[in-house]
């Protein structure tokens, strides 16, 4: 065990060359709750989104084992991720059109908005010359989302 007297505080002048940030839960706020996903999928399909209809689908989903989709083990491969969700939707007797839309909602990066402090954080890091890397085990490509965000920021001008 290292004695605390041997530890020195980090020097304030220490500069970082780069930082790694995770996507969901760090840079982006993931929508939570099955109700939100179901409402969004039903709306996209032009289906009824009454509380009763949404609750019915949510109940179907919760009526079967969904531990695999809650496991980070499926995040190691996009095909495995898709297969796990497909198996869950099938076990819950979700029709194929709704199942496809539920997966599309879950996989839509634009439905995971940046956290409110991400813009200032990234601008501060950029101004300090700190390189930023985004690491994630997310099952979709984040690059288009960041490119679109850069385009919108450039068009809006300095903040």
Point out which residues pair with 114 in neighbouring strands: 28
Point out which residues pair with 135 in neighbouring strands: 22
47 and 100 share a domain?
Answer: yes
Low-confidence spans in the chain with pLDDT less than 50: 1-4, 158-159
137 and 107 share a domain?
Answer: no
pLDDT score for 80: 92
pLDDT score for 47: 96
90 and 53 share a domain?
Answer: yes
Residue 59: domain span: 34-111
pTM of the full structure:
0.73
Point out which residues pair with 28 in neighbouring strands: 24, 114
85 and 122 share a domain?
Answer: no
Contact of 37 with 18, CB cutoff 8 Å: no
118 and 97 share a domain?
Answer: no
pLDDT score for 11: 55
pLDDT score for 159: 46
106 and 124 share a domain?
Answer: no
65 and 90 share a domain?
Answer: yes
Q: How far apart are the two ends of the chain, measured CA to CA in Å?
A: 48
């Amino acid at each position: 065990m290292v004695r605390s007297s041997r530890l020195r505080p980090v020097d304030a002048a220490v500069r970082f060359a780069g930082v790694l940030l995770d996507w969901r839960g760090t840079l982006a706020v993931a929508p939570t709750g099955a109700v939100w996903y179901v409402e969004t999928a039903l709306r996209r399909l032009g289906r009824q989104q009454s509380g009763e209809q949404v609750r019915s689908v949510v109940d179907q989903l919760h009526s079967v084992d969904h531990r695999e989709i809650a496991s980070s083990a499926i995040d190691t491969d996009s095909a495995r991720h898709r297969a796990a969700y497909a198996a869950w939707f099938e076990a819950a007797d979700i029709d194929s059109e709704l199942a496809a839309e539920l997966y599309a909602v879950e996989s839509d990066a634009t439905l995971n908005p940046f956290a409110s402090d991400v813009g200032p954080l990234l601008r501060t890091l950029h101004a300090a010359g700190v390189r930023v890397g985004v690491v994630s085990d997310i099952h979709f490509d984040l690059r288009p989302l960041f490119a679109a965000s850069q385009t919108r920021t450039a068009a809006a001008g300095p903040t």
